[in-house]
Amino acid sequence: MILYTTKSNVQREIERNVSNSKVFESHDFTRDSKASTILRSLANAIYLFIDQNLVALQKAIHYHTAEEEDLHEWLKRYGLEWKEATNAKHRIRIGSKTTVPYEVLIPVGKIVGTADHKIQFQITQESKILPTTPVDSRGFHTVEVICEALLFGTKG
């Protein structure tokens, strides 16, 4: 993002606000009313400068708050390309605290989630928990499966 706001631009904005002000239409000015109008115009110009330019600059500095246009510009600058958000893939362990007496199938498409149920995953690889499944380091009989987050991007 390129800022073009200068002192002369702010001054022109103040003059434009003063000359276009409804207060000046068919009104006999006192010194106080003129000063009040100029102060309001000055405050409005400063607000416009802060609101439009500095906030946009602050957003552009941090990628997680940047507008998409600024992100594309940043990527071009560093020779990178835009990629669509993808679903995160994870390896998880599913199993039992006790030895299972028979083969347990873990089907593709089974939905599992985090402990707080905020993020859900879908299993993408079929697996089986066998009676001969060894105990892992935590004392559970588990197998490793690959799953994919149902939400794309940083949420998954």
Domain end call among 44, 77, 110:
77
- Bridge partners of 120, per DSSP, are 113
- What is the residue-level pLDDT of the chain in tens, covering all 156 positions? 445 566 677 777 777 776 777 766 666 666 677 777 777 777 777 777 777 777 777 777 776 777 778 778 878 888 888 778 788 888 988 888 888 888 989 899 888 887 887 888 899 989 998 888 888 888 888 899 999 988 876 665
Asked whether residue 91 falls in the same domain as residue 143, the answer is yes
Tokens standing for 150? 């149902």
Residues 130, 148: contact at Cβ < 8 Å? no
pLDDT at 1: 44
Of 77, 96, 111, which residue constitutes the final position of a domain? 77
In the chain, % helix, strand, coil (3-state, to 5) comes to 40, 25, 40
- The residue out of 57, 77, 97 marking a domain boundary is 77
Are both 55 and 94 inside the same structural domain?
no
What residues make up the domain containing 49? 7-77
Residue 82 belongs to a domain: no
Q: How far does Cα 111 stand from its chain's mean position?
A: 26
Asked, for residue 1, whether it belongs to a domain, the answer is no
Same domain, 52 and 114: no
3-state secondary structure of 144: strand
What's the pTM? 0.46
